[in-house]
Amino acid sequence: MSNKKKKKLTPTQQEYHDFAKMREPKRPILKNCLWAFFVGGFICLLGQIIQNFFLWNFEFNERTAGDPTVAILILISVILTSIGVYDHIAQRAGAGTAVPVTGFANSIASAAIEHRSEGYVLGSGSKMYKLAGSVITFGVVAAFVIALIKTTITLLGGS
């Protein structure tokens, strides 16, 4: 609580605030950070293993192996979300599961599963994009602007 807000509290409110602060359980910040680091690292390691699988067993190069790798990571995330496992992992690991692409897939799948009782269009279809709509819109607009710049440079005789 900021100092400005503390000054506006009555003595009884301040006493209660101090009492609540004493009773609040201490958070294991270092432990939480380590969990997030190792779970996020494990997700990235899994992605690297999948990418190496595509590199070694199919005729992919490093550039082309990325697309199926991301697709499989998204598929794994959605499957784990649908059976309720991903949420338990995310509760323990926090931001370690939210940062990679699997966290984004989890948020979309969770919203779709949560609102499925409202129907496919007005429930799952609309609610899952409430969270992801801004990310998808930014991606589409950024891709359009980059394509426009690249086309303009090509038309002007650049490489």
Cβ 89 vs Cβ 42: under 8 Å: no
Residue 42: what pLDDT? 93
* Distance (Å, whole) CA 138 – CA 154: 24
What DSSP line would sit under 104-143, residue for residue? HHHHHHHHHHHTGGG-IIIIIIHHHHHHHHHHHHHHHHHH
Cβ 36 vs Cβ 93: under 8 Å: yes
Residue 7: what pLDDT? 66
Residue 64: what pLDDT? 92
Residue 143 corresponds to which amino acid? A
* Distance (Å, whole) CA 94 – CA 84: 16
Residue 90: what pLDDT? 87
Give the residue extent of every domain in the chain.
29-156
Residue 5: what pLDDT? 52
Find all residues with CB under 8 Å of 97, minimum gap 6, and list them.
36, 39, 40, 43, 86, 89, 90, 103, 106
* Distance (Å, whole) CA 106 – CA 101: 9
Q: Phi and psi (nearest 5°) for 8?
A: -85, -10
Query: What stretch of H or E contains 1?
Result: none
* Distance (Å, whole) CA 22 – CA 16: 10
Closest of 18, 41, 152, 32 to residue 102, by C-alpha: 41
Residue 93 corresponds to which amino acid? A
Q: Give pLDDT tens digits along the chain (159 positions).
A: 545 555 688 888 888 988 888 888 888 889 989 999 999 999 999 999 999 999 999 989 988 999 999 999 999 999 998 898 988 888 888 888 887 788 888 888 877 777 666 766 666 666 777 777 777 888 899 999 999 999 999 998 766
